[in-house]
Amino acid sequence: MFAEYIQAALERAEYEIIDDPEPYYAHVPGLPGVWATGKTFEDCRKQLISVIEGWIVLGLRMGHPIPSIDGHSIDVSRSGCPSMRLPQTERLTITTKHLDVSPRCL
């Protein structure tokens, strides 16, 4: 549902190689606690995507604000339903096939 936000976070991610059995390390500046490791760069990136998704879900459930990244933001309306703001140059089409959203949000 928030692929554009996650992509913006990935573009901001910083990677490094550390002395660890999973030597690839990444974190996203501006997203507290969002980091991942992996045995390969691709493993690390996949883990980072999963961590970002979980971080968004947890933040929304706890009512925490989700920081904007390069014009992409995720807000919760008064009804408790998530909404997304994109830069004006982008258009978003959402289908409900795989969404875990309350029916009152649709």
Q: pLDDT tens digits for 61-79?
A: 998 999 999 999 987 655 5
- CA atoms of 9 and 59, how far apart (whole Å): 15
Give whole-number Cα distances, 21 to 41, 45, 59, in Å.
13, 16, 30
* pLDDT category of residue 11 using cuts at 50, 70 and 90: very high
pLDDT at 82: 53
For residue 85, give every residue at least 6 positions away whose Cβ sits within 8 Å of its Cβ, in sequence order, or none. Answer: 68, 71, 72, 73, 74, 75
The pTM for the full model equals 0.72
Q: pLDDT tens digits for 12-29?
A: 999 999 999 999 999 999
The CATH architecture to which 3-105 belongs is 2-Layer Sandwich (3.30)
pLDDT at 22: 96
